[in-house]
Each structure stands twice: as structure tokens, then as C-alpha cells.
Chain A
């Protein structure tokens, strides 16, 4: 069964760039699914960041669009997130998630375990 695993630095300096990777195992990133990043600040709710299809097509949350880049590496079966000009407000648990192809409502049926990223000097 498909599993997702996030990886990347747990600490990023203010004004720097947050970089995370989500490795897909048990299935192909070239399947008929969109692949998303979602974040959750400590003690708060969930915020969708953006998504990518294996073709490279992307959609981003308008509130983050100017700072976000999501890319895909089909040879490594993984996709990545870059968030630039980070501040303390970007401190959160970052999840990668799979969009369920059987859902019209864009449900996320598989999630990674999440990785905590703290923005601090």
C-alpha cells in the first residue's frame, strides 16, 4: 500500500527557505493522483499549501503562492516543497498527502506522518 514520508531540516532561519521532500513508496507518483502539502501550526488548524501532478502541473494556495514552489522528481518517486522568505508564522508541522482519485471533492486519503519545522535564529 502507498506510504508517504516527509524529510528535511527541522530548523530554518528567518528569511531563509524551507525545503522538504515527500518520498512515495508502495506505489507510483505517476499514478492518477494529485500530491499535496498541508501544514498545521502548533495548536491550530490545517492549511493547504499546494499540489502537483506528475506532469508537473501545480496549484497553490493564493495566500502563499508568491513564496511556494512544488516540484516532482519521477525518477526518485518523490515530490518537494520550497517555501521562501520564512518567518516564525511558518513554524508548523508539514504534511504531504495524496489526493484520492476516486473523490470528486479532492479528499486526501493518504498522509505522511508529518515533520515539524521551526523557524528561528
Chain B
């Protein structure tokens, strides 16, 4: 099984800061990595798919990069509405399955 290690588990930053979250896979997963935002009491929302593609309607301050085993999610300028928990998610096709990272809780300083 492919293991995903997401870090940090929590993060405190100021409005306007650049925020970075990382996700590391235990083996090469190519670009099979997605990022979600989840606000309290709400369903997750897809932000980035296939490691670096911005989902339609998502602000351009969100971005993703990486391939293979190491991936990065970035918010270029933190806004108050970005307070949420962020999850990475990988897809494995042999056998088909999906695994989420442990989550990063983002708070305003």
C-alpha cells in the first residue's frame, strides 16, 4: 500500500503570508495527487487535481506542484476565508484505490 505523509499537521499564519503544505508518497505516484479544502461542517472541495491543475472557479492564489513522491501545495497570499483543513489525496491504480493525507489545519495568527 502507498502511504501518504502530509505536513505540517497544523499551521498558523498571517493574512498575506505565503503558506506551503507538503505531501510525500512512499513510492512514485507520478502526478496522481489532488488537494482539497474542507471547512468545518462542510464537504471537502477540490482545489488542485493531477498535482498542478487548478479546478475551475478556484482562485489563482492556490497552486500545486510536484511529481513522483514529493508534492507541494501553496497559497500565495493567505486570505481570511482560507481558514480550513487541507488534505492531499493520491490515486493508486493497482489495485484501484484512494488514500488521503492526514490533513493540515490552517489557522490565522
Contacts and interface: CB of A to CB of B under 8 A. Distances in A.
A107 B103 contact: no
B89 A107 contact: yes
Interface string A29-49: 000000010000000011110
B99 A114 contact: no
Given A45-B102, A45-B103, A46-B87, A107 B96 contact: no
Interface residues of A, number: 24
Interface stretch (B15-23, B48-56, B72-80): B48-56
Contacts, number: 75
Query: Interface size class for chain B?
Result: 20 to 34
A48 B31 CA distance: 19
Interface string A41-84: 00001111001000000010110000000000000000000000
A112 B99 CA distance: 19
B51 A105 contact: yes
A28 interface: no
Given A47-B100, A48-B97, A107 B43 contact: no
Contact of B50 (A51, A97, A104): A104
B100 A45 contact: yes
B24 interface: no
B97 A104 contact: no
Contacts of A47: 100
Contacts of A36: 98
Interface of B: 1, 31-34, 36, 42-46, 49-51, 53, 55, 87, 89-91, 95-103
Given A100-B46, A105-B31, A113-B43, 11 more contacts: A45-B103, A46-B89, A48-B98, A48-B100, A51-B96, A59-B97, A97-B43, A106-B96, A109-B55, A111-B45, A114-B43
